[in-house]
Structure 1
Amino acid sequence: MKQFLFITDLDYTLVGDDQAMAKLNERLKVHRQTHHTKIVYSTGRSLYLYQKLTDEKTLLEPDVLICAVGTEIYYGGSNTPDSKWSDKLSEGWDKGLVVQISEVFPKLKLQPESEQRPFKVSYFLEEKTSGDFLSELESRLLEQGLDIQVIYSLGSSAHINSLSGVYEQGKDLEIPVLDILPRKANKGMAMTFVRENLEIDVAQTVACGDSGNDISLFADRKEKGIIVGNAKQELLEWHKTHPNENRYLAKANFATGIEEGLEYFGFL
């Protein structure tokens, strides 16, 4: 056993079964103490919603926190995002113009203000959408010289407030989510940036996820990847059509699936 870099999504990946998470947390805590393993959370949540989650769930303190779908990186419990990463993302990005162009698409409903970040514009969709819609939106943005990417995934309303008028409150619904980011920003690119800063070998890195916005953690990667058994359909379909021996599809759900994958790759 030796040091590794552990990167995981939170909602419906690490978080979802409190008992299983507590068991995995204990094993990771011991491994970090013994082998200096690094723990990184990579979440679509803003820092604000991440902090709300820590009030609700018992999470290990991460060495690094990646928020807002890879657009913000926080080290060592800081509330100030890494400036080098922010500087990198600012090239070819104009948030105001992104919002202005996107407003002409009536299917798009802005997410709460807490989820609109300096390098992320996020929407809900009233219904699941097609690739044609995504292509049209992306084309309109690229035509204006914006260096962007459009990421579609199915999220949960469980951790989102202020959904009145869009979704029925009090229910944990699977909802279509659209994030517009700088092309240089996503969970996968943020993972590479953090891994290189921490100087941890790619072979000693493993990432875990459950939905479409985690695909960049797995696409054409030498890092190991774990997809939990309860993964969303868009990720499962992508996994099936993009095989990679470095990726493992767990049989178990949530943290138990992560533990299964870590044992499969020999990290635990």
Structure 2
Amino acid sequence: MPVTLYYYTGWQECQLHGCPKGDSAWRDMAFKTVPGKPSVHELHVEADGLEFVVCDMQKKYWDNPPDWYGKKNYLISEAGKYSLRNGHLRRIRDTPVLVVTDLDHTLIGHERDPENKLLEDFKTTWLGEYAPNGSALAYSTGRNKSMALDVAKERHLPRPELLICGVGTEVYAIPSSLPLFDWWEAGASLQLMPEWKSKVLDGFDRKYVEDILLAAFPKFELRGTPEDDPYRIPTAYQMDENFDAGKRTLQETLGEKYQVISSGHGEWKLIDICSSQAGKGKALEFAQRELKFEPGRTLACGDSGNDELMFRCDGSYGVMVANSLPELVEAMTKNAQDSVLAKGKTFWTTTWRWQEESRT
């Protein structure tokens, strides 16, 4: 049985110096580059295990285990597929999954992770156990593209397959030729996916919606610009006892071609108006089709009202993080027995991890 090792490195060339299980002699084995993944190198060894370290081809620089690893050499005890990144040796999962995650207060920027330790744990888990097996990652955020790229750079987020912005109104494919990190530097060249734009967004009439808001709904304060938010109209509502009725009346006035999406908690609610064929739920379904993942192998993660539609996608799995806003908790609790919502499977966690035992 073979051992396959994927090694994340900035070295152009590198080699493994190790001893296959059952052998007595150490030897050098060169890694091969992985096409389309310049930061990943690959090695196959016919063995049931392996003790090793990694070095450059001149043996000037060495990758030895960090102190917390507890051993002087890396150790693989049985055949299988593994990855090594920043001292973390991980066994690669067998089955690919699609993860579609919100950013703010879900993956990043929440009070349960002030030092980004959970975020770093996600990166290690994702890159070590899932990314090498064909799994796919998509970021789905209320931020516009520019703001999403800014936070990706700030938090050093790994390259996704798709970047979904503007509460599911914009979908961008991220080329695999871009680096695993620093991919955000190519943000200016990212264009809306033609398949998404032609099927979903061409019917969005911005002036029609703005005229209705200005004429009859002054409580919904217009925000954003056509340049930053081309296929949604962001508004804000200062909360009062009339909010629910006002939102319902606005939806009825706009008609079935549009949807009114609310999120936030406190004095102000953020309200987005977009096509009924957009939104985070429709964008998740589009991601499944484009990336070829069945709903049963899709996991959606979120914390607020604009994430609710992802949890309504038939057959998909969902994570409401432990710091989710009351609006999402109340909606999911109230509708837990709905025939539509019950088709999804949602569970709670403080950090992301695909767990077979959680699939009930």
- Find the counterpart in structure 2 of residue 196 from structure 1: 289
Change in CA separation of 1:208 and 1:251 when aligned onto 2, cut-off 3 Å: closer
Runs (4 or more) in structure 1 with deviation over 3 Å come to 264-267
Cα 1:234/1:29, change in 2 over 3 Å: same
Residues 227 and 247 in structure 1, CA contact (< 8 A), matched pair in contact too = no
Q: Secondary structure at the match of 2:124?
A: helix
Alignment: residue pair count? 241
- 3-state SS of paired residue (2:156): coil
TM-fit CA distance, 1:71: 0.9
User: Is the 1:89–1:119 Cα contact (8 Å) retained in structure 2?
Assistant: no
Distance 1:5 1:265 in 2: 18
Measure the CA separation in 1 of the matches of 2:100 and 2:174: 15
- Once the two structures are superposed, the pairs formed by residues 65-104 of structure 1 within 5 Å of their partners are 65-77=163-175, 79-90=190-201, 92-104=203-215
Of 186-195 and 242-251, more deviation after overlay is shown by 242-251
Deviation at 1:197, TM superposition (A): 1.4
- Contact kept, 8 Å, 2:262 with 2:272, in 1: the verdict is yes
Looking at structure 1, the residues matched to 343 and 287 of structure 2 have their Cα atoms a distance apart, in angstroms, of: 23
| Cα separation, partners in 2 of 1:116 and 1:203, compared to 1, 3 Å | same
* Match status 1:37 vs 2:147: no
Q: Residues 170-190 of structure 1, C-alpha deviation per residue, up to 9 Å, x if partnerless?
A: xxx774100001011111111
Which amino acid is 1:140 matched to? T
CA-to-partner distance for each residue in 1:119-140, whole Å, 9 max, x for gaps?
1001111225532101111222
Aligned ranges for residues 36-185 of structure 1 at < 5 Å? 36-77=134-175, 79-90=190-201, 92-104=203-215, 105-113=217-225, 117-127=229-239, 130-142=243-255, 147-154=257-264, 175-185=268-278
Which of the pair has more CA radius of gyration?
2
CA distance in 1, matches of 2:160, 2:267: 27
2:321 to 228, 235, 242: 228
In 2, Cα distance between equivalents of 1:116 and 1:154 = 20
Shift of 1:60: 1.1
Conserved? CA contact 1:46–1:114, under 8 Å = no
Question: When the two structures are superposed, what TM-score results if normalisation uses the length of structure 2?
Answer: 0.62
Which of these residues, 277, 301, 311, is aligned with residue 218 of structure 1?
311
Q: How big is the shift at 1:91?
A: 5.1
Q: Which residue of 2 aligns with 1:161?
A: none
Inter-CA distance 149–224: structure 2 relative to 1 (3 Å threshold): same
Question: For 1:33 and 1:220, how far apart are their aligned partners in 2?
Answer: 23
Q: Which runs of 5+ in 1 are unaligned?
A: 156-172
**CA 120–112 in structure 1, closer or farther in 2 if over 3 Å, else same:** closer
SS state of the match for residue 23, structure 1? Answer: helix
Q: Which has the larger helix fraction?
A: 1
State the alpha-carbon separation in 2 of the partners of residues 207 and 92 from structure 1: 27
TM-score normalised by length of structure 1: 0.82
Per the alignment, do residues 106 and 242 of structure 1 end up closer, same or farther by CA in structure 2, a change over 3 Å counting? same
TM-aligned CA distance change 1:41 to 1:226, over 3 Å: same
Q: Which has the higher contact order (CA 8 A, sep 6+)?
A: 1
Paired residue type of 1:193? F
The 3 A distance-change label for structure 1 pair 112 and 91 is: closer
Pair 1:228–1:125, CA change in 2 (3 A): same
Report if aligned partners of 1:116, 1:122 keep a CA contact under 8 Å in 2.
no
Partner amino acid, structure 1, of 2:248: S
Point out the structure with the larger strand share. Answer: 2
